[in-house]
Amino acid sequence: MNLNLTLIGQAIAFAVFVWFCMKFVWPPVMQALQERQKKIADGLDAASRATRDLEVAQEEANETLRESKKQAAEILDQAHKRSSQMIEEARDQARQEGERMIASAKSEIEQEVNRAKEELREQVSRLAIVGAERILESSIDEKTHRKLLDKLAAEL
């Protein structure tokens, strides 16, 4: 257990090792560690940013969906309204048309009846004249008896 030159040798070796470690070993490892730390921090940052972006996008998508649903409902509503309106209109038109047709048919019928009445009256009046002629065996002057005949026809 003697103190001797070994002590100095050990001290020199120690100094050399420390110097070597400081120059060549420590810096690259430390640098790599720091770079990785930065990379991981960046990665985490990006991840949280992406999560935030995703949330925003989801919110937007929801918003759009909600809006389009609303629009679709509106369009559907309008279409319903429009169709019922159209049906109503069609019904109205049909009714009017029908009424008009009925009215015209009625007036035609009336005209026909009137015409038939007129004809009938004329024929009756002619028949009456013929009958009267036969009875009287003389001619009845149309002109002189016109008024009488018209009165007769009107009474029929």
Partner 1 sequence: MAGNNQTPTEYIQHHLQNLTFGNHPENGWSMAHSAQEASDMGFWAIHLDTLGWSIGLGSLFLWMFLKAGKAVTTGVPSGLQNFVELMVEFVDNSVKDTFHGKSQLIAPLSLTIFCWVFLMNLMDLVPVDILPMLAQKVGVMFGADPAHVYFKVVPTTDINATLGMSLSVFGLIIFYTIREKGITGFIGELTLHPFHSPNKLVQALFVPVNFLLETVTLLAKPVSLGLRLFGNMYAGELIFILVAMMGLWQLPLHFIWAVFHILIITLQAFIFMMLTIVYLSMAVEKH
- Closest CB 47 distance from partner 1, rounded Å: 17
Interaction residues for partner 1, span 16-55 (CB under 8 A): 17-18, 20-22, 24-26, 28-30, 32-33, 35-36, 39
- Near partner 1 by CB under 8 A, which window of 15-23, 79-87, 109-117, 142-150? 15-23
Nearer to partner 1, 33 or 79 (CB): 33
- Near partner 1 by CB under 8 A, which window of 1-9, 74-82, 84-92, 126-134? 1-9
Exposure of 31 in the CB half-sphere (CA atoms within 13 A): 7
Stated as kind and residue range, the H or E segment containing 5 is helix 5-20
What are the backbone dihedrals phi and psi of residue 114, each rounded to the nearest 5 degrees, phi first? -60, -45
Tokens of 39: 């990379």
- Closest CB 7 distance from partner 1, rounded Å: 4
Q: Give the separation between CA 81 and CA 90, rounded to whole angstroms.
A: 14
Exposure of 82 in the CB half-sphere (CA atoms within 13 A): 6
- Near partner 1 by CB under 8 A, which window of 3-11, 61-69, 103-111, 147-155? 3-11
Q: Give the separation between CA 21 and CA 13, rounded to whole angstroms.
A: 12
Q: What does the binding site for partner 1 look like in residue numbers (CB under 8 A)?
A: 1-11, 13-15, 17-18, 20-22, 24-26, 28-30, 32-33, 35-36, 39
